[in-house]
Amino acid sequence: MWIKRQTSFKGLFCLVVTIHTILPYLYLSRVVVAVVLLCSALFSQVDSLSHPIEDKDLPYVIKDPDSLKRSEFRAAFATAVQLTEAGDYEPALNMLHRLYPKERLALIYKNIVLAEVLRKQGKYKSCDSLLLLTLSIVQYKQWKTLIQRERLLIFDELETTDEEKLDFYEDQLSADHTDSIKISLLLRVLKLKGFNGQSKEFDPYISKLFSLDFLDARLDSIHRYIKSRSTPGSREPQVEMNLARYEDAKGDYDTAIKRCVQIVGKTKSEKQLRKMRLVHPKLHYKKKKYREALKYYNKYLALYGNHSQVLLQIARCWKKLGNIDSARIWYDKFTIAYPKHRKTEEIYWARGWDAEEQGAYENALKWYNKLLPRFLTYKRGEWTWFRMGYIRYKQKKYQDAYDYFRSSAEKTSGLMVVPASLYWKGLVLFKLKKQEEAIEVLHKLWQQYPLNFYGHMAKTELVEKKLWDNKWNDSVRFVEVGDDSVRKWISGMYNFKKQSGHIYISGYLNIRELLGLKLNTLAQITFKLAYKNHSKNPLFLYTYAKAFFGNWDEKSYFLARKLSYQIKNDNWGDVPLEVLRLIYPRPFKDIVYTYANRDSIPPGFIYALMKQESGFAPRILSWAGAVGLMQIMPATGSKLAKQEGVKNFNTSMLRRPETNVQLGVTYLRDLKKRYDNKLVYVLCNYNAGPVPTKRWKNEHGEKPFKILAEEISYWETRDYVKKVLGNAWNYEVLYPEAVK
């Protein structure tokens, strides 16, 4: 290791200081404490330690520390943190040295803050020595990762040789760092080793580098350098595979195809060979060279026999080429070869939908029937009865439609399909001249699912028919009840017995107290460890969703969403407003309202879209490459950035909340203008793009919204439109002051 270990008079004094810090259970007399503090003031740097110190006898957490000691620790710790923020480092240092928690987790908190004070004082060797010692007593990798990151912050300030730097960087590469930190480490290693873009000695580092975050702009320059200094196929197959993945993600299909060809010709690994023979035709497919893709897919089948992905891709190629009959032949081959495969469910559904679109309703019913009963619990399978009822509704066979909708409502349990079935059951009852029954069904639907898309639709239907009773008032349903009442509601709903203590949460400082001190990183790591054991505890989910609200909004919503999954269908009508506002939060409020007001778009609509797209996670990246809060594709982001005058735009900027919201709202404004303010088409375009949206608009024109919502042929887009509009209406209900 790069740390030089030596023994000196100065080092011995500092060893005493460190022992005093790391071993709080040693009962030193006040005289000894005074001597130790005097020594720490005299000597500002710790050169080394002669041997590691471990303190694993302390319990990781203690459930009930002495209340006085806990209060004293918390007050002193809080004061030290505040002094550090104010720049008063010496008083903070002295106060931290006097803390003696008899718990390892509290000791870790103390040492991490103490290390920060030492770093800010420029006492880098002391800081690193303390971090190394703390590393020896931590139990979980999350804490080890944090400590290693802290060491990275000070490493460049230490006097070390290039060899010592290389040892340190390569050792850090094995730690559980973020992709961004790993990229920084790899770039430093390449620089120290004199990277020239050609020599194969760099292949392991290049392979690691291009297996990381493709959005990091630093990879672009490295890729250009490699591309200019070497040709595809000149490196080891695994390196070439990772470079091909990167080029695929960036849309550089031609270079990726060249690499695939070279890998197929060079590799001796049968696993790599088969993988490349799958990737190669897929790249042609992405280039829209469907006949080339067919050639290589057929070659794969000749070499290896049936493969589910290959059969599907061949069918998709024929469909893209407009040869629907050939596509159906290959889809049928797939269903015969893989009768229980999830894709078989999709194929049956697609064949039924195609027949339905063509007006061949009886043929459509035949295909939908194939989903019963094998796929009834699958995503599409559970909508089978609903779709059959909807076909009968379009045929005006209302009694048959009623029977199907009733079966769907009674025999399925999905949070969307059940209210959908009840809604259309109510509409059918109107057609059957059974108005009282229809009102009862729709009113009960609204009562049971007031925050569901179909709950809103039920209310709208009754209002439009002038059958809405003004006694049914939203405002009395969603009211604040106070924290104690919320906890009683949760406990009563689940018949839940509170668990005793959280074995990962400190007895000295709980997570909310850490957040109050703005020690968010310590709070987040503590929470992650605690969450593993309490992920299904509704009181835990509520407590920390509330604690993180306004501090760590992404995680607050994550917990609230988990809590919402546990709310039973019968309980949605009486959810307290405090819980609902956690499930429907308004993070980045200043940013969202600024651009919402600029472009006259309801903020609730923006939040609803953001909720569905990213779950309020600013740095999220989708499998398709969409980035950030409003999931903007890089190419779209670049175009919008030019339109908005965003300077020096690059894809990584889409992870910044303000940039993402600015461009996302601009895109919504442009789409609203294109589709004459019809939000259903705005959302169709946002999710599926302009081509299918144009087709749906041409086919369905001015049909009533309730019909149009069921006729969007893309499963994902149909579901997306309902969820976003339903959420937008929920924001209007929960935040009436924001409605303009």
Residue pair 356/391 in contact by the 8 Å Cβ criterion: yes
Residue pair 340/318 in contact by the 8 Å Cβ criterion: no
Mean pLDDT of the chain, nearest integer: 86
Residue 51 pLDDT greater than 80, yes or no: no
pTM of the entire predicted model: 0.76
Mean pLDDT along residues 256-274: 91
627: β partners: 621, 632
Cα gap 461→468, rounded to integer Å: 9
To the query of whether residue 236 is one of the catalytic residues in this protein, the response is: no
Q: Considering the chain, what percentage of its residues have pLDDT values greater than 90? A: 60
Highest-pLDDT range among 133-137, 390-394, 541-545, 647-651: 390-394
**pLDDT tens-digit readout, 136-154:** 888 888 898 889 888 888 8
State residue 494's pLDDT score: 67
Cα gap 166→583, rounded to integer Å: 47
Residue appearing with tokens 């996670």: 617
Distant-in-sequence, close-in-space partners of 490: CB < 8 Å, separation ≥ 6: 496, 538, 539, 542
Residue appearing with tokens 């006259």: 600
Distant-in-sequence, close-in-space partners of 95: CB < 8 Å, separation ≥ 6: 76, 79, 80, 83
673: amino acid identity, one letter: K
State residue 618's pLDDT score: 95
Mean pLDDT along residues 27-34: 36
Of the chain, the end-to-end C-alpha distance in Å amounts to 64
Distant-in-sequence, close-in-space partners of 228: CB < 8 Å, separation ≥ 6: 197
Cα gap 281→269, rounded to integer Å: 19
Residue 9 pLDDT greater than 50, yes or no: no
Cα gap 281→284, rounded to integer Å: 5
**pLDDT tens-digit readout, 453-499:** 999 999 999 999 999 988 876 545 678 889 999 998 888 876 655 55
Query: Which of 103, 150, 461, 613 is an active site residue?
Result: 613
State residue 65's pLDDT score: 66
**pLDDT tens-digit readout, 584-634:** 999 999 999 999 999 999 999 999 999 999 999 999 988 888 999 999 999
3-state helix/strand/coil string of 467-521: CCCCCCCHHHCCCCCCHHHHHHHHHHHHCCCCCCCCCCCCCCCCHHHHHHCCCHH
CA gyration radius, the chain: 31
Cα gap 558→541, rounded to integer Å: 9
Cβ-based burial of 9 (10 A; exposed 0-12, middle 13-18, buried ≥19): exposed
